[in-house]
Amino acid sequence: MLKFIKHNMDTISGIEIYPIVALVIFFVFFAGLLVWVYTYKKDKIEEISHLPFEEELEINNISKNK
């Protein structure tokens, strides 16, 4: 099966650049994501992490007031 695919790919000129481009895109994306995560503000992460609990507290307060 691989012989058929490899033979077809050999006939396309300039095909050898595609794996290199894919690797560069993959590396740049994840390197950028890593930089974004490490530079994200800690207080914003703390605020976002408490969002599910705030909703639960609001539901409990509404049910207690009834």
What secondary structure does DSSP assign to 25-65, as a single string? Answer: HHHHHHHHHHHHHHHS-HHHHHHHHTHHHHHHHHHHHHHHH
Q: What is the pLDDT of residues 29-51, one digit of tens each?
A: 999 999 999 998 988 888 888 77
Measure the CA–CA gap between 17 and 24, rounded to whole angstroms.
11
Q: Which are the contacts of 9, defined by CB distance < 8 A and separation ≥ 6?
A: 15
% of the chain with per-residue pLDDT over 90: 30
If you average pLDDT over residues 3-19, what whole number do you get?
Answer: 80
**Per-residue pLDDT for 60 more than 70?**
no
Whole-prediction pTM: 0.56
What is the model's pLDDT at position 65? 58
User: What mean pLDDT, rounded, does the chain reach?
Assistant: 82
The domain ranges of the chain are 38-66
Token reading at 33: 């994501």
